[in-house]
């Protein structure tokens, strides 16, 4: 999915995508590999007429008055099209100028497409003062589009700091040099005692702001490239046949493509967050520096990895000059180099996370919701006044525990209302009863339960008095749950059930369980299954805690030996239990983000660990990458929520977040334990070594439960990319 979420942003992306497809089809890209690009390119004036040069510039200078997020959306679409020429360097340069002075006279020409600009992220230019003038000397290497630009925005060492300075190209020596990507020409630039006045210095533009702008917009182009590579690889995998079937049906190819979209989505989320941060707090360096460093850590790597994998999926044809993979791989390599020293960005992530802190993620709702917020805030305040021993019951009766459910069990809350409720309970420090596993079972009882079942089970569950477990998985039916063999035989007044369940969380503490059993063995495997509500104290139910790798027992094996379950504890229709089990939500439930259990490593704990330790440069680079991945996973959760609010499909972001966050969580613990050296064998949980060893042991389960990573990759490849299912 693109950077855009809202309807307006999607319209913008669609418009730019159509423009790019029209002006830069494949044949134009391949012609540009052989023939120098005209300056300006043929699309230059049409792009200006569509307002693309000035989408981020103020209206008084001829711009459209939008922000960096809108510009990032445009740049990503230009990346998706690998558009040749100086468009991206020029709009980055104009963004730098506008950050210094949004009404600068030079911006009028840039918005109209009359002026082409270029920029550099690093340089060897220095300035000395002679009266009220600066004399600039030195060289800047490999400046993108320098030979096509009439105006350059270059960093110059002035006194003890670094400033970006406007320089006219005709006063500089510009030496074009061969570029790895002929569609993105570069040139070395030299200044030999070039004099400029202080009015040419972008003195209102901090070094942090400049670098955040450049890295965010370069990251936007990078995710456009990554998205093209992912789409193209998946499309080819659907049609290319080997050994009598599409190569996308082979798990190795399928998983490669799924990892491509996962890495692309994570980087896209990071770019979206960085662009929003620049728009939200353009004068507060710390507010956007972290987000921009996260984007720069993830996006160029995603572009390079996915273009490489795209070539691999295509096989020999992907290695030919004639194929588009050639164009995009070259663009990816140039983009990676354009960020400068890549190691700086993970280091910056670590430095900021452990000092000023990570960027807070907040969902800002429409001001029109303030009346609703004030009403909910007043109700939450009233709940806080209820005596503690009565509060859980009052909260449950008010429908606050699962407000997305229909009344009387919930409040039939819209997605926006759910967000406000979650925020107000959090800010008011009022705890709602925790549902645990019951959160998965309650919606099925609401949707399929009889009146008697609902009245019997829902109120005590909402009050936190009735604990549930989920009796689904079996020794031979884990990810392939429909292969379950637990058998239910019809008898007078009910059913006799025999079988074995495994990996049942909290069964030793549960009063009731949601049980799937096969009631019609002759039916297809997804049919003939019935959903039962099982009294865990029934004769014949035996719970045996399953001691895990950690030495603890969160999971259990449950033996069910000829257990009688009355007819009134069948949930839904007989033989339709698969439908009941799949219907976990009657209304769309919206979450502010995934919670991190206390027994697992978390991003916050990892940052705290880094803050207290001392690590070499290699380790800090690794740590910065992990923090970037962890923050981006949180952003993916937030995008999933916002997509729901916008009426979109949150499934891609949610599925990918689950896949990636589990692996990253394991990475936190692996990093910590590896840093202890020989002390890593010390298991005392009162010490950091023992605590992190426990996190490491516990984390091995995260890529297994809820669907293994391998199954998740299949789901992502098949449902999101449309690759053929396994035979």
> What does the pLDDT average to over 278-301?
88
Identify the weakest region by mean pLDDT among 13-22, 306-315, 684-693: 684-693
Residues 41 and 106 both lie in one domain? yes
Would 332 be classed as within a structural domain?
A: yes
Task: Name the pLDDT band for 539 (thresholds 50, 70, 90).
Answer: very high
Which of helix, strand or coil describes residue 140? strand
Most confident stretch, 151-160, 225-234, 718-727 = 225-234
Same domain? For 331 and 293 the reply is yes
pLDDT of 440 above 90: no
Domain that includes residue 618, residue range:
208-363+598-727
Residue 145 DSSP code: T
Phi and psi at 523, nearest 5°, equal -80, 160
Closest C-alpha among 101, 95, 100, 136 to residue 117:
95
381 and 333 co-located in one domain: no
CB-based burial label for 263 (10 Å; 0-12, 13-18, 19+) = buried
Flag whether 591 is in a domain.
no
What percent of the chain has a predicted confidence (pLDDT) above 70? 97
pLDDT for res 346 = 96
Supply the pLDDT for residue 564.
98
CATH of the domain at 525: 2.40.110.10
Q: Is 184 a member of any domain?
A: yes
CA Rg value for the chain? 29
Domain membership of residue 442 (yes or no) is no
Which token pair is 705? 């439960």
User: Which of 526, 551, 582 is where one domain is finished?
Assistant: 582
**Does 570 score more than 50 pLDDT?**
yes
**Which of 67, 102, 117 is where one domain is finished?**
117
Side-chain-side CA neighbours of residue 224 (13 Å): 27
Same domain, 552 and 562: yes
Same domain, 112 and 127: no
Q: Do 132 and 219 belong together in one domain?
A: no
Q: Residues 329-338: pLDDT tens digits?
A: 999 999 999 9
Is 704 a residue whose pLDDT tops 90?
Answer: no
- Domain CATH for 308: 1.20.140.10
> What's the average model confidence in pLDDT over 456-483?
91
The confidence score (pLDDT) of residue 177 equals 97
Question: Is 590 inside a domain boundary?
Answer: no
Closest CA to 125 of 182, 222, 41, 194: 194
pLDDT of 595? 61
pLDDT score for 49: 95
- Cβ neighbors of 294 (< 8 A, separation 6 or more) are 270, 273, 274, 349, 359, 627, 628, 631, 632
pLDDT of 588 strictly over 50: no
Give the pLDDT confidence score for residue 66 in this predicted structure: 97
For residue 703, what pLDDT is reported? 87
Distance CA 197, CA 167 (A): 10
Predicted confidence at residue 717, as pLDDT, reads 92
Average pLDDT over residues 674-691: 90
Question: What average pLDDT does range 388-416 have in this prediction?
Answer: 92
Tens digits of residue pLDDT in 617-632:
999 999 999 999 999 9
Whether a cis peptide bond, with omega within 30° of 0, leads into 40 is yes
pTM of the entire structure?
A: 0.90
The token duo for 439 is 């959160």
Q: What tens digit of pLDDT does each residue of 343-384 get?
A: 799 999 999 999 999 998 877 777 888 899 999 999 999 999
The verdict on 375 and 460 lying in the same domain is no
Q: Tell me the average pLDDT across 547-568.
A: 94
Position 469 scores a pLDDT of 95
Decide which of 433, 468, 487 is a domain's last residue. Answer: 433
Buried b (16+ CB within 10 A) or exposed e, 467-487: bbbbbbbbeebbeebeebebe
Across the chain, mean pLDDT equals 92
Confidence band for 586, pLDDT divided at 50, 70 and 90: very low
| Mean pLDDT, rounded, for 687-694 | 91
224 in the same domain as 352:
yes
Q: Are residues 624 and 571 in the same domain?
A: no
Domain count across the chain: 5
Band of residue 585 on the pLDDT scale cut at 50, 70, 90: very low
Say yes or no to pLDDT of 590 above 60: no
Asked whether residue 606 falls in the same domain as residue 687, the answer is yes
How far apart CA 575 and CA 265 sit, in angstroms, is: 39
For 344, residues 6+ apart whose C-beta sits below 8 A from its C-beta are none
Residue 21 belongs to domain with CATH number: 1.10.540.10
Percent of the chain topping pLDDT 90: 77
Q: DSSP string of 520-540?
A: -TTS-TTSSEEEEEEETTSTT
Residue 564 lies in a domain: yes
Which band of pLDDT confidence, cut at 50, 70 and 90, is reported for residue 464? very high
Same domain, 644 and 613: yes
592 occurs within a structural domain: no
Q: Are residues 402 and 258 in the same domain?
A: no
Asked if residue 712 is part of any domain, the answer here is yes
Note the pLDDT of residue 207.
93
């Amino acid at each position: 999915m693109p950077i855009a979420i809202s309807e307006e942003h999607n319209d913008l992306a669609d418009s730019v995508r159509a423009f790019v497809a029209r002006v830069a089809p494949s044949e134009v890209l391949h012609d540009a590999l052989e023939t120098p690009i005209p300056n300006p390119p043929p699309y230059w004036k049409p792009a200006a007429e569509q307002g693309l040069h000035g989408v981020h510039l103020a209206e008084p200078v001829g711009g459209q008055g939008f922000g960096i997020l809108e510009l990032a959306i445009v740049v990503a679409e230009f990346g998706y099209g690998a558009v040749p020429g100086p468009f991206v360097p020029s709009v980055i340069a104009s963004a730098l100028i506008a950050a210094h002075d949004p009404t600068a006279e030079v911006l009028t020409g840039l918005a109209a497409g009359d002026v082409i600009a270029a920029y550099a992220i690093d340089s060897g230019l220095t300035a000395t003062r002679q009266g009220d003038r600066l004399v600039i000397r030195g060289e800047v290497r490999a400046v993108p589009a320098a030979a096509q630009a009439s105006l350059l925005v270059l960093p110059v060492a002035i006194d003890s700091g670094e400033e970006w300075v406007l320089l006219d190209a005709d006063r500089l020596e510009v030496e074009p040099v061969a570029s790895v990507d002929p569609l993105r020409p570069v040139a070395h630039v030299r200044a030999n005692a070039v004099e400029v006045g202080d009015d040419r210095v972008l003195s209102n533009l901090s070094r942090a702001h400049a670098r955040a702008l450049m890295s965010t917009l370069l990251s936007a182009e990078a995710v456009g490239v990554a998205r093209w590579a992912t789409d193209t690889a998946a499309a080819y995998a659907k049609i290319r046949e080997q050994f009598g079937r599409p190569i996308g049906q082979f798990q190795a190819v399928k998983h490669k493509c799924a990892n491509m979209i996962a890495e692309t989505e994570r980087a896209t989320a990071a770019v979206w967050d960085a662009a929003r941060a620049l728009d939200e707090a353009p004068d507060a360096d710390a507010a956007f520096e972290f987000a921009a460093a996260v984007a720069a850590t993830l996006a160029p790597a995603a572009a390079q990895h996915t273009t490489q994998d795209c070539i691999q999926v295509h096989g020999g044809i992907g290695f030919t000059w004639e194929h588009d993979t050639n164009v995009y791989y070259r663009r990816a390599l140039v983009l990676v180099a354009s960020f400068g020293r890549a190691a700086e960005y993970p280091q910056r992530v670590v430095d900021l996370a452990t000092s000023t802190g990570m960027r807070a993620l907040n969902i800002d709702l429409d001001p029109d919701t303030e009346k609703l917020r004030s009403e909910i805030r007043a109700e939450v305040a009233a709940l806080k006044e209820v005596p503690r021993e009565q509060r859980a019951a009052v909260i449950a009766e008010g429908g606050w525990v699962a407000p997305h459910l229909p009344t009387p069990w919930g409040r039939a809350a819209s997605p926006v209302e759910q967000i406000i409720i979650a925020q107000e309970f959090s800010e008011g420090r009022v705890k709602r009863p925790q549902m645990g596993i019951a959160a998965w079972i309650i919606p099925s009882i609401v949707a399929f339960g009889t009146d008697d079942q609902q009245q019997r089970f829902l109120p005590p569950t909402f009050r936190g008095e009735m604990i549930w477990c989920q009796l689904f998985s079996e020794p031979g039916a884990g990810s392939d749950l429909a292969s379950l063999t637990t058998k239910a035989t019809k008898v007078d007044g009910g059913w006799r059930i025999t079988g074995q369940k495994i990996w049942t969380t909290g069964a030793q503490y549960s009063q009731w369980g949601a049980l799937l059993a096969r009631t019609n063995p002759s039916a297809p495997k997804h049919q003939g299954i019935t959903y039962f509500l099982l009294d865990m104290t029934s004769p014949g139910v035996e719970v045996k805690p399953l001691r895990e790798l950690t030495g603890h027992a969160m999971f259990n094996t449950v033996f069910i030996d000829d257990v009688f379950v009355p007819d009134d504890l069948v949930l839904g229709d007989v033989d339709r239990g698969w439908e009941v089990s799949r219907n976990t939500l009657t209304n769309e439930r919206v979450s502010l983000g995934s919670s991190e259990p206390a027994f697992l490593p978390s991003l916050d704990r990892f940052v705290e660990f880094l803050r207290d330790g001392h690590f070499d440069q290699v380790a800090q680079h690794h740590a910065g990458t992990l923090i970037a991945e962890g923050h981006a996973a949180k952003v993916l959760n937030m995008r999933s929520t916002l997509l729901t609010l916008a009426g979109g499909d949150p499934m891609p972001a949610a599925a990918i977040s689950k896949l990636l966050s589990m692996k990253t969580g394991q990475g936190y613990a692996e990093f910590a334990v590896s840093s202890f050296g020989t002390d890593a064998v010390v298991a005392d949980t009162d010490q950091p070594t023992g605590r992190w060893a426990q996190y490491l042991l516990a984390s091995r389960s995260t890529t297994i439960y809820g669907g293994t990573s391998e199954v998740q990759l299949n789901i992502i490849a098949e449902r999101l990319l449309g690759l053929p299912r396994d035979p």
